[in-house]
Amino acid sequence: MIRILVIDDEAAVRDMMRQTLERAGYEVVDARDGRQGLVQLRQQPVNLVITDILMPEQEGIETIRMV
């Protein structure tokens, strides 16, 4: 199964993305910011990362560079 990590500081956006992707048959894990996203990646490797760009703590671009 394809696993997707959704990183966004807005809980409503994460929930909407999770519901949409799960209905399409994907497994979804999520994180509220880039730092938490990197922790998730270490715990559960994923096939795809979808991230917001502007977030507190660690922005999406910074997170992408660290992946």
pLDDT digits 0-9 by tens, 22-35: 999 999 999 999 99
Neighbour-count burial of 30, counting CB atoms closer than 10 A to its CB (0-12 exposed, 13-18 middle, 19+ buried): buried
| pLDDT for the residue numbered 55 | 76
33-59 pLDDT tens trace: 999 999 999 998 999 999 988 777 777
Chain centroid, CA 56 distance in Å:
14
Contact 49, 5 (CB under 8 A): yes
